[in-house]
Amino acid sequence: MMFKPILYRLAAAAWLFAAAAVHAAAPQGRIYDTQAGREIAPEALVQQLKQADVVLIGEKHDEAAHHNAEAWLLAQTADARQSGSVLLEMLDASQQRQVGEVQAWMQSGGKTTPHRLNEKMGWNNAWQWQDYSTLVHFLMGQKAKVLAANPERAAVRQAASFVPQGKAGGDARVREALGEIMGGNHGSTDGLVSMQQFKDHTMAQNLIAAPKPAWMLAGAIHTSKQLGVPLFLRDAGYGGKVKVVILADPANSPENEHGDYIWYVK
């Protein structure tokens, strides 16, 4: 049987590629600490994130530089997160059992190629696998649990009338700002805003329930301290230490209030 040796070599090559990617030097760019009002080194960011109970990293989904920065941060903090978890916006609750079984299999010595991992864990290909394959391959081999951040899609579709009850998440100015981002006016995006906030509410609950330290990778709007999940953590009375890293394009600067750190990644 010639196919097994070939498969094993492909799997080994994939693992070596993933290891090289996540252990590379820190991505270029500058990191602004919004609380301290100054720039800090990537290594200083790593040390500060290691002290947090919850870390939210906000990305642009199709930006390779953002995925490189996420991979580097996760690799540098791996030892400190062994008893914790990583929640992914790209996974929903319906996939959790399958993902958990595959991660347990990989941690017990199971080997697979990135292509086969896609199939084994039931990845939703609406999220481009080539953007996430190396990062997910690395995470699935770690001790920290890989968890779904999102609710099931059916639940999201039924949440078009969801209205947050908390003071922070339910602030009318938040819904107005989200509506503007989504390009609507005069209530035309109310349903979309409700579904967005239902996701944020669910993500917050999932983070609270997840093993700590709990990290979450999601779009930058979801992770925003002004618009997203942190508001729902506050409304839930969560008392742990929360840190938000917003990954940004140097040419498109977000307001500092959206994160504790803004990393302008090149």
Residue 30 lies in a domain: no
> What does pTM read for this prediction?
0.90
- Burial of residue 235 (CB within 10 Å: 0-12, 13-18, 19+) is middle
Question: In this model, does residue 4 exceed pLDDT 80?
Answer: no
Q: What is the pLDDT of residue 250?
A: 86
- Domains: count for the chain: 1
Q: What is the pLDDT of residue 202?
A: 99
Contact indicator for 84, 212 with CB cutoff of 8 Å:
yes
Residue-wise pLDDT tens digits, 74-98: 999 999 999 999 999 999 999 999 9
Residue 168 lies in a domain: yes
Q: Which residues pair with 54 in a beta bridge?
A: 214, 242
CATH number, domain of 184, equals 3.40.50
Question: In this model, does residue 11 exceed pLDDT 80?
Answer: no
Residue-wise pLDDT tens digits, 94-144: 999 999 999 999 999 999 988 899 999 999 999 999 999 999 999 999 999
Helices 42-49, 64-76: axis angle to 10 degrees equals 60
Q: What is the DSSP letter of 265?
A: E
What is the β-pairing status of strands 29-33 and 261-265? Answer: antiparallel
Spatial distance between the Cα atoms of 199 and 222, rounded to a whole number of angstroms? 8
Rg (CA), the chain: 19
Residue 41 lies in a domain: no
Question: In this model, does residue 181 exceed pLDDT 50?
Answer: yes
Q: Which residues pair with 40 in a beta bridge?
A: 31
Domain that holds residue 105: 3-20+73-243
Between 34 and 189, where is the model more confident? 34
Residue 172 lies in a domain: yes
Residue 47 lies in a domain: no
Average pLDDT over residues 172-200: 89
Question: In this model, does residue 185 exceed pLDDT 60?
Answer: no
Q: How many CB atoms lie within 10 A of CB 123?
A: 19
Residue-wise pLDDT tens digits, 45-66: 999 999 999 999 999 999 999 9
Q: What is the pLDDT of residue 17?
A: 45
Residue 123 lies in a domain: yes
Residue 45 lies in a domain: no
Q: What share of the chain is helix, strand, coil (3-state, %, to 5)?
A: 50, 15, 35
